[in-house]
Structure 1
Amino acid sequence: MSLGTSEALQRFFAQFKREVLASVPPEQRGELQKQLEERESELLAAAADGAAPALFTDLIGLGKDGPPPFEKISKPFLVQDFDESVIPTQLHAAAELYFIYQHERMKVFQVAGVLLRLFHEGRMRIQRGPGARALYLLEKHYPLRYKPRDRQLAYRRAFNYGNIQAPPGAVIYRNFHRQFVSFVSALAQFFRDLTIAEVIRGSQVLNERPFASQATIQRLGTDLRWQLDRSTYGNIVALTVEVGEYLKTVLDALETPDIKRAFDANTKWDVIQMVSERYLGGSADLSQRSKMADAGRLLLNFVADNPFRTRDFRDFQSEVLPLGPVAEEWIAAYRMTPDGRSFRGVVPTLRKSLGLRTDVAAVL
């Protein structure tokens, strides 16, 4: 398709859309405009595919017909495919790795090691019950390939968490935590603004964009997708599968009645807390970390499945609205951990992530 034909088609479609939309009721314009834009893109792509490609020799006048008129030059149809240039499997593995990391911070793996040692040394009075068998099977299910150091390296590569030295040449997502906190804050702010808008307008039907920023969520989500895809290559997928199976085996073992009875516990979380306090120098933030693990995995899975190309506000709203409470849950839990005590709040975090002044955030 030549440059002149492309421009004529675009002008025609622009005039056609104005005439059609002018005769349509306002409540139907949004959906119809979306359909017309999709149809225009389809026509331009089809016309470009059927046209002969322009050769460089023709453009500079070395072809058999000499230099062509400018309007006759074939126009390429460029497609933006950056948002799809990631491997979803790696992104889902990053979500599972985040879930595993939070359990690492809860000392679940260390507790399992302590129980195995007590079981071998005869310092825990269990013998033929399901807990004893679970500990025996737990040792047989110990990861064959990915030991604690491999987990620490995976956390460092994907999230830049931990103090272990990264291997030379490995790609590290050094800015993960800042961007993830900003992304969660943007979702929470979007959810808050929708709630405020409903109160102000006195209705749950929102026909126009309220105060929240769709572009901020999409920009931060796209960055997370791209950087996580770059840093989770290699053994991350296999590691999350193997360690995830081991984590499930550990949690099932801690739920057995004779192990709980040995520590006078009601749940596996009581076992983790008591073993941590007795043998590991103190318990971790179990309540907060468990909520962060669940909410963080949901949010990262959303990032993995969403290319963030939706421009229609109503479609975007339907996608992100269920994640508003999830983002608030993560923030509420994060603020109660030692790592999150420096969290200044949703609005200051967003302003800083967008490069805006933070000294006026208190009045917003």
Structure 2
Amino acid sequence: MVTEREYQERLDRIQALREKVAQQLSGSLVSNPALAEELNGQIDALVDAATGADSGKAVPPDMGLASLVGLGPDAAQQLGQTRMSQGVAPYDDNVNSERIVAVGDLYYIYQHEMIGVFKVVQKLKQLFEAGSVRLSGGPGAYRLYQFDRRDVLRYTRKDRHDAYRRVLGYGRGRGSAQSRPNTDFHMLFAHFDNQVTLFWRDKRISDVIRTGALDPSFGSIAVVRRAGLDLRNNLKFTSFGHLNVLRVEVMQVLEECFRILGSQDVIDLFGADNAWDVVDEVLIRYFDERLQSSPRQRMAVTGREVLRWLAGPHIMETQRGEFEALLMNIAEPAEEWLTSAQAMSLARRTGTDRVLPWEQLGQSGVASQYAERSPLTVPPTMQPGGMPVPVYPQRNGKGTYRGGKAGWVPASTRRR
């Protein structure tokens, strides 16, 4: 049991130790800033060890209250003799890595869904069943038949979109089983990528101006760590449920889709060179869509790499040298994701903005297009029973409100 006097004396000794070391090594610390970080790390380790030893000691049944208020034979004569608590356990920032990896895979699947891979295979299946394309007994035709037979065993398109809404916040309506959508994910994800890119930009500048500079203004690891922890904590409670098995199944479906699209008879049918060319050709020919395959696919790959990095314990590293070495693994993926997202108006570079206030989550311009697709709520008086009504604003803010799921309807669809 640690008394109040022992607690105060220990803190004073620690401060005196730090001051003594700084005085004796002041010359070396100026020329070698990494030495100061190493010394502080060793002192912090000693403090943590002493605190852990105190926590393992026996605690009175009354938690020291009788001694504090002066009751019983063990009543304290002075305040310094009373028991001092070391505090509660810190907030647990550790997250099950499997769940964060599952979110990364779901993000990868979502981007391919937005490209239109599943839609292309469904269209190809319809054409095959209608006899509108010259496919008969080749490997692609047989795989299309198997794809159709297995369809009843898989998660449906609605199941996938509900999972996107619940875990990633993308789409409209409620998430799986009417759960609350995670509308903060994209803002936090874009913010973390921004902080990673800003860190390495500042690091490169510091290396040019001051070789080996460790000034916090030149790349703050604390800001990057805070952004990463905010994102991980956001995903901590949204990654439960059937996400793990769903992403395993849909990843298998995605692979099966590319086996179909990459079959020689399907490639020859569209005069393509590979499966991606088939995807683009079908999207242009049958859906008249603007192609976004290249930036979306790079967002899928780099976004999954960033989320996989967050699944590890790297974000908890406090030593600058180790943290920079680990963060280097996602320096280029974060830059590439941000560049691709910015090109598609899905994110913006925040410049010198280092903090994303909690009050602005869901309202920030970091992800303008996704924010427009997220439901807002109208005053409770607009629906009987006092329940909020989801509203889907028109991009230009123009249109007519029809209420309920219809939301704001563009002027071009109004009845004349």
TM-score band w.r.t. shorter chain: 0.7 to 0.9
Q: TM-score w.r.t. structure 2 length?
A: 0.76
Confirm whether residue 12 of structure 1 aligns to residue 13 of structure 2. yes
Alpha-carbon distance, 1:140 to partner: 4.3
Alpha-carbon spacing, 1:168–1:93, altered in 2? closer, same or farther (3 Å)? closer
Q: Which moved more, 1:326-335 or 1:25-34?
A: 25-34
Report what 2:220 is aligned to.
Answer: 213
Report the residue type matching 1:220 in the other structure: A
Q: TM-score w.r.t. structure 1 length?
A: 0.86
CA distance in 1, matches of 2:157, 2:189: 25
Confirm whether residue 197 of structure 1 aligns to residue 206 of structure 2. yes
Report what 1:362 is aligned to.
Answer: none
CA distance in 2, matches of 1:349, 1:21: 34
Alpha-carbon distance, 1:68 to partner: 5.6
Alpha-carbon distance, 1:198 to partner: 1.9
One of 115, 121, 144 as aligned partner of 2:124: 115
Q: What is the CA deviation profile of residues 219-278 of structure 1, one whole-angstrom value per residue up to 9, with x for unaligned ones? A: 221111111112222111111111111112112222222211111111111111111122
One of 171, 181, 185 as aligned partner of 2:180: 171
Report the residue type matching 1:2 in the other structure: T
Confirm whether residue 347 of structure 1 aligns to residue 351 of structure 2. yes
Confirm whether residue 138 of structure 1 aligns to residue 147 of structure 2. yes
CA distance in 1, matches of 2:17, 2:348: 50
Alpha-carbon distance, 1:74 to partner: 2.3
Report the residue type matching 1:290 in the other structure: Q
Confirm whether residue 52 of structure 1 aligns to residue 67 of structure 2. no
CA distance in 2, matches of 1:212, 1:143: 52
CA distance in 2, matches of 1:157, 1:348: 31
Alpha-carbon distance, 1:17 to partner: 3.8
Q: Which moved more, 1:248-257 or 1:149-158?
A: 248-257
SS at match of 1:177: helix
Report the residue type matching 1:33 in the other structure: N
SS at match of 1:82: coil
One of 32, 36, 39 as aligned partner of 1:29: 36
One of 254, 259, 266 as aligned partner of 1:252: 259
Query: 4+ residue stretches of structure 1 with deviation over 6 A?
Result: none
- What are the equivalent positions in structure 2 for 1:49-198 lying under 5 Å apart? 49-53=56-60, 54-67=63-76, 69-78=78-87, 80-142=89-151, 144-166=153-175, 170-198=179-207
Q: Which moved more, 1:56-65 or 1:308-317?
A: 56-65
CA distance in 1, matches of 2:321, 2:176: 45
Alpha-carbon distance, 1:90 to partner: 1.9
Report what 2:302 is aligned to.
Answer: 295
Q: What is the CA deviation profile of residues 142-167 of structure 1, one whole-angstrom value per residue up to 9, with x for unaligned ones? A: 47252111111111111211123446
Report the residue type matching 1:5 in the other structure: E
* Matched-pair contact (CA < 8 Å) for 1:263–1:274: yes
RMSD, matched Cα: 2.7
CA distance in 2, matches of 1:118, 1:187: 46
CA distance in 1, matches of 2:77, 2:247: 58
Alpha-carbon spacing, 1:324–1:346, altered in 2? closer, same or farther (3 Å)? farther
Alpha-carbon distance, 1:283 to partner: 4.5
- What are the equivalent positions in structure 2 for 1:223-238 lying under 5 Å apart? 223-238=230-245
Alpha-carbon spacing, 1:166–1:322, altered in 2? closer, same or farther (3 Å)? closer
SS at match of 2:351: helix
Alpha-carbon distance, 1:12 to partner: 2.4
* Matched-pair contact (CA < 8 Å) for 2:262–2:274: yes
Alpha-carbon spacing, 1:46–1:90, altered in 2? closer, same or farther (3 Å)? same
Greater RCO structure (CA 8 Å; 6+ sep): 1
Report the residue type matching 2:331 in the other structure: G
Report the residue type matching 2:4 in the other structure: L
- What are the equivalent positions in structure 2 for 1:293-332 lying under 5 Å apart? 293-306=300-313, 308-332=315-339
Alpha-carbon distance, 1:141 to partner: 4.4
CA distance in 1, matches of 2:242, 2:152: 14
CA distance in 2, matches of 1:32, 1:147: 57
Q: Per residue, is there more helix in 1 or in 2? A: 1
* Matched-pair contact (CA < 8 Å) for 1:158–1:173: yes
- Aligned residue pairs: how many? 352
Report the residue type matching 1:192 in the other structure: R
Alpha-carbon spacing, 1:128–1:206, altered in 2? closer, same or farther (3 Å)? farther
SS at match of 1:126: coil
Alpha-carbon spacing, 1:145–1:4, altered in 2? closer, same or farther (3 Å)? farther
* Matched-pair contact (CA < 8 Å) for 2:188–2:231: yes
Alpha-carbon spacing, 1:80–1:169, altered in 2? closer, same or farther (3 Å)? farther
Q: Structure 1 vs Structure 2: percent identity of aligned residues? A: 28
* Matched-pair contact (CA < 8 Å) for 2:267–2:275: yes
Report the residue type matching 2:302 in the other structure: A
Q: Which runs of 5+ in 1 are unaligned?
A: 359-364
Alpha-carbon distance, 1:58 to partner: 4.0
Q: What is the CA deviation profile of residues 285-334 of structure 1, one whole-angstrom value per residue up to 9, with x for unaligned ones? A: 10110010011111112222246333332232222223222111011111
CA distance in 1, matches of 2:178, 2:119: 30
CA distance in 2, matches of 1:168, 1:129: 41
* Matched-pair contact (CA < 8 Å) for 1:274–1:283: no
* Matched-pair contact (CA < 8 Å) for 2:159–2:176: no
Alpha-carbon spacing, 1:42–1:264, altered in 2? closer, same or farther (3 Å)? same
Report what 2:407 is aligned to.
Answer: none
Report what 1:2 is aligned to.
Answer: 3
